Amino acid sequence: MALSGTVAFRPDVEEITAEAFERCGIDAQTRTGGQAVSARRSLNMLFSEFANRGINYWAVTQNTLTLVNGTSSYALPAGTIDIIDAVIREGTTDQTINRVTIAEYNQIPNKTTAGKPSQFMIDKQYTPVIYFWNVPNASTYSMVYWAVNQLDDITAANEDTDVPYRWSDCISAGLAAKLALKYAPDRFQLLNELYERSFNFAASSDNDGVSLRIQPTALNLT
């Protein structure tokens, strides 16, 4: 049996769009320029939906935020969606830092108390802002964190998608469902069901290989 010996298959935006339109019953000969623009917009909407449906592990990066003595708030990089884990590092020693909600942060009586940060809160603005308590009392601390990031925008048909191979069918299925809503409503229910099934298959394999463990932590205001 002859095999290709390659593992380079990664459909670009044009191929994903063509697959999605074909599932809607719209071939390349009848597609319009306006539909192509609509498809790229819907693809970006699909990526936004992915961000709301769970952690996209391929979009997780490790980052370091250098803390400054007396400064409690810092802007996170553009495109940061959330932080899933973090530690405070001083020299070569890491210490757990707990995340609190906005409501819990508001309950801290004295937000100017200085010390080694033990808690943080994220204000999810367009550019997210992170707040620390205690306020750093030295410039020797840094926060090392794992962030979920926004996927790169789709702007042209000849671009690759910022998504791994195992999600290729899910992207095509999701885009097909969104296009069917606009151009083939009679196929929407079927295509949306196929998309949900494909998403569940892909999402079930998109994890860090360990069981989910949630450990609640109490708010320490002392």
Q: What is the mean pLDDT of the chain?
A: 90
Region 15-41 average pLDDT: 94
Question: Please, which pLDDT band fits residue 221 given cuts at 50, 70 and 90?
Answer: very low
Q: pLDDT confidence of 217, banded at 50, 70, 90? A: very low
- Reply yes or no: is the peptide bond before residue 44 cis, omega within 30 of 0: no
130-141 as b/e, with b when 16 or more CB fall inside 10 Å? Answer: bbbbbbbeeeeb
Average pLDDT over residues 175-184: 97
Percent of the chain with pLDDT over 90: 70
> Could you tell me if 195 and 174 are in contact, meaning their C-beta atoms sit under 8 angstroms apart?
yes
- CB-based contacts of 147: which residues, under 8 Å, 6+ apart? 60, 61, 62, 63, 76, 77, 80, 81, 82, 83, 84
Q: Which two tokens stand for residue 84?
A: 């899933």
Residue entry with tokens 């989910």? 212
Summarize pLDDT for 43-86 with one digit per residue, the tens.
Answer: 999 999 998 888 788 889 999 999 999 999 999 999 999 999 99
Which pLDDT band holds residue 1 (cuts at 50, 70, 90)?
A: confident
Q: Tell me the DSSP string of 98-129.
A: EE--HHHHHT-S-TT-EES--EEEEE-SSS-E
At 120, give phi and psi (nearest 5°): -145, 155
Burial class (CB in 10 A: 0-12, 13-18, 19+), 88: buried
Are 144 and 85 in contact by the 8 Å Cβ rule? The answer is no
Reported as a single tens digit per residue, the pLDDT across 131-165 is 999 999 999 999 999 999 999 898 888 888 888 88
At 144, which amino acid appears? Answer: V
Residue 213 is predicted with a pLDDT of 41
